[in-house]
Structure 1
Amino acid sequence: MTGGMTGWQGHDATRERTLFVLSFRQRDELAAILSRGGWHVVAARRAEGLRQRVAASGAAIVIIDARGAVQEAIAATAELAQVAGHGDALLVLVARGDSPQLGALHDAGATHFLVSPIATDMLLQAVRSAERYVLRMGGGWHDPQAGGGAALGWRHDGERGTLQLTPALAEAVGLRELGSSRTALRAIGRAGRRTALTAIRRLGDALPATAFAHDLPGLGRVVQHVARDPHTHRLHALVEPLARVGDIGAAVREALGSVRDLAGARSWLDRRIEGGELPGARVLTIRGIDAINRQQGRGVGDALLRAVERRIERAVRDAGVARAALARLGGTEFAVLLPHGADAGLETALAQALARPFVAGSTMVTLLLEQAFGIARPGEDGTALLDRMRDALPGVPADEAAERRASDDDRSLSAGIRRAIDRGEIGIRFQPQVHLLSGAIVGVEALARWDHPDRGELGAELLFAAAAHAGLAGALSSHVQQLALRIAAAWAPPLARLRLSINVTAEDIARPDFAETLLACADASGFPRDRLTVEVTESGLIAELGEAAGLLATLRAAGCRVAIDDFGTGYSSLAYLKALPLDYLKLDRRMTQDIVGSHRDRVVVRGVIDMARSLDLTIIAEGVETVEQRDALATEGCQLYQGFLCAEPLTGPALAALLDQ
């Protein structure tokens, strides 16, 4: 897109080629180098949906960065090699220490290699070599839309104030003539407009290319890959439709086959039991995959599990068992579900099928199979039958079986989340935040609680885990935020002077309209923006730090304050201090405990506090339980604390009573 290209029909045809880059660690750096070298770059950090994204990009050259993620790269290379056309190029970047894996990468389908250290010129020459391979082999360049359409893209000339759309994009969005960039920005809506402007403003000499995702009328969810031409200063963009995967149902069926999950297995059995049958279940557990996950990575382990699924399905089919179904119960457990308890010859067929070695990454492995079979007893439902068979597996200790039953019981909470929200069973408790020197309560953190009709009060961690399992984490988070704001807005003095902190989840950050929605909610409740603090944890930031920074900046500009929660629990915490607009840093409870630990522990905590203070951040220590912890934190310069030393999370009336004291 860059490097002297003067239009969609540039003189140097090479500059109109498209590269697809998959880099688990250095996506943005590679995209910037290749964009400066004159390529259209479509870049990804994750391998999910890889086939569809490469096909949609139209790239005949794919660069897979295996540095620091060699097993994931082997799996991605193998996946693309299965569908690559004759003459397509798969260029793999390898760290010097991983050079013994070159054979595995070659077997997976790589056509070109580049071993670090990799200089910019070396990388660009390797891409040119891959391009020559594509042209000589006759593979040609893929259609950018993998289906016959022309490229979806646009070009903006800032000096002239003009915006040109490729014909395919103009037709897709129903806009023949735009006239100006302002008209185009209005066309993509308020949320898309904010995301686009934030991304484009990041462009510069250090970052010549970037990408952003949003919903585009006429195309659905898209990623726009934008680059600035260093010579003409024009913006060029390639639009990648994420939803253009053909028959979605067919794609899912191809990936999953007939495999059900635990809930589907229970439902399958229950339907037959209700129909008067006594179905059977053969439960299988596969030993040896956990070791592959540790040695070669989760990607190789997942591929191995898919191979196990295929062998089980084939064994059931070859054994002639009619109307059976396969389910993956979780982890490395499977179940073959059988009508009327039919199981003739299946035990031997499965044992023989799974005894043959499997290919796992670059090695051959033999897995251990353990089986248990049973038929539903009168009055027993599908859940009870599966639990009985899982507990009957050879080598399952009694405490492990009990732990699994407890885990399954927790999952059953998921079914009641929506009902709990509708019935008002979800409540709010407020934990005080106390000034360390004066002892005054200056704010509170809102924490969710579920007043469960059978199990009593359940905490936020279990509540949100159940909501995530039910796919309702976003709905629950929104409900808790709105409820906390309504309650706090109605407080009378002295509660009315307190700051309110609410938690933001990863699902919230992923919503492009979240900032506007939250601000509108606060305004509707009557709670002042300038007394509202938004707390976000690393789990909500790690995937899309750039998007999170933009969202938090919007909230901060509107008068809210921003806190990073549980600081010190993750490896990228220091990156957050540099990248995010923050007001508060909340020390994780483990760091709070370390303040009275060993000399080394105290030095680490002191360093974090000093660093935060030098950045003009207010430090809040979580989990303070003793006077010794409180006094040590005050000595080191921490300003606020919360924890059981002051109070547990309280109801509104209990909080008011505490302030009266």
Structure 2
Amino acid sequence: MTVMGTETATRAVRLPDDMPGTAANFAPPAFILSFANRDDLADAVMRSGWRPIAARRADGAPARFLASGASIAVVDGRLDFPESIEAMRSLNGPAQTNHAALLALVPDAAAVTLEAAYDAGATHVLAPPFDQDVLGIHLRFAARHADRLAGSRLAAHAVEAPHDSWRWHPGAGYGGGTVIVAPGPNLASDTSPRAMLRRLDAPGRRAAIEALRRIRATGRPTAFAHDAADGRRLVHHLTIADGTDVVFGQIEELTSGPRAEPRGDALTGLADGTGARAWIAGRLADAAEPGCVVMIVGINRFDMLNAAFGRSVGDSLLQGVARRIERLAANDRAGQRMIARLASSEFLVGMAAPAGPDDARFLAGQIAESIARPFAAGEHVVTLGCRIGIAASAAGDRASADLLRRASAALAEAMAADGDAIRMLESAGEAVAERDARLEIDLRRALARDEIDILFQPQVDITSNAVTGVEALARWHHPVLGELGAATLFSVAERSDYLAALSGHVQRKALAMAAAWPELLAKLRLAVNVTAADMVRPDFAATLLAAADEAGFARSRLTVEVTESGLIEDLRAAAGLLAELRAGGVRVAIDDFGTGYSSLAYLKSLPLDYLKIDRRMSQDITGTTRDRVVVQSVIGMAKSLGLSVIAEGVETARQLELLAAQGCNSYQGFLCAPPLDMAALTRLVTRWQRR
């Protein structure tokens, strides 16, 4: 067998039953994935009677779980729940196949949180607050579940040592004592720690010594990794037996076969610009199937985030972005994908032929959506945005610099433009306008093909904690690019002078769907968005009221939400239109307040019922003192004018607590639920009422 990159001969000698630490060392393994609390959680799991195999990164988690031999996988989602959901989904298949339990540590016990964990494959959940004893009991529940499925599999683990493991009985210093290497129940060989350490390369030796110092000082599980002589990457998971100084190590192989290409970026572990350019050059020169498409992902306003939160938080965010891009862009076929960090906040994703522009556009949409989900960085919850530029190689391309230059130009266009966050240049001769023109043609066909769907995001009354309404949000199910959000959809419509037609279609469809809701949803309010194109139509108010009547939806349950951009051209005309809608029984809200001009004249001059503060303001409530003062002032001003306040984009319980303290009336956001179809909305309201 291989230990620390060396081969050892085996000899059949069984460990004595009375050897100190034997029972603890042969305890059943438990696989742990925790993005921020690995060592603390591993310590708690060990003290509960399991041998922890712990990881901080989700990359390769299914393979690592299978290699651990564990019948329990613990996924810690208390700090980054969206990432933990993705990790649970990746572990669900291996867990089912191997009759294992999947215990999710979730941030709260809200119904939507538990539902998300259930849908991702969790068999057990545990929400804070909990202590060591409660965690131990939940692990025992999970073990019983796995034991029943697998036929006493845990009992077998309890008497059988891991296949790649070692035990250190310390003597003087880190070179004294004895190391025993054990495959299965048989001992392999014993040697001195000093001799074992000499077999490691210099970085591995330093890592091993530091890990041994940590575990002897704290008694808590830890790990170290090193490169074996044959090119494999090995990690040693260390535990210490209660009441003894015996250190037990289990070895996990992270890579197999030839060693992967070296990574050039120390912060993220990705390739650097040099590696990216070499990969592009190789794809362009490929004799069998030359060509590739590359995208550059730029994080919005990252310099401001660094200044606001500090370098350490910024570095943590970049690492989080890198991991999310890796999960989406990784490919099993060697050399087919390249993921690199080019600059401070720019990442490259390369896709080798036969992948083309449509594949890149689809992947770019997934990446943009993933990065838009909140990140946990230390004590902060930070929301990021990104812009993406895409360029495809052309027949005459020979240099990687040409392709990178076009991708950079596409990114610059994306950064400068409103609306769609993705820009594409397929070749030197194709303008972005040509691609946009295709989408404009597709949009006109989309209405006829019924590709535009409506989802509903719940709005919750803060005082009663009841779901009282929903906002209708459009989604475009593009036959090639997949699901496109409202921002892309309405941006294409605005360029094609098709905005009024699309807006009317979405409003009528939302009204018809809401009118057909089951009795459980029959009292919910429906909010529909009104665009700038709607505001300039002299017959718009009459048309919308007639559409509600025709659908059989009560006007008293309808709210129109108009953005600031729809008001700035003619405030007097806007006031007249909104007054006509209110006279017809409809309520009126200013949407996304705080993103545009935010003119106080709107609040003073317009007939309004609600003010909806933008998601960034909702998240600023937990930011700096200055951020909080701005949000508090906006809410106080609205309340003094007799307006109800709805907060958008509420993601955390802390945000909700502070918004409620300032007098906010309602909220919507992922803390309650993402946009839902009718079936999912019905289930959510049912659970909410039971609470």
- TM-score, length of structure 1 as denominator length: 0.41
Q: TM-score, normalised by structure 2?
A: 0.39
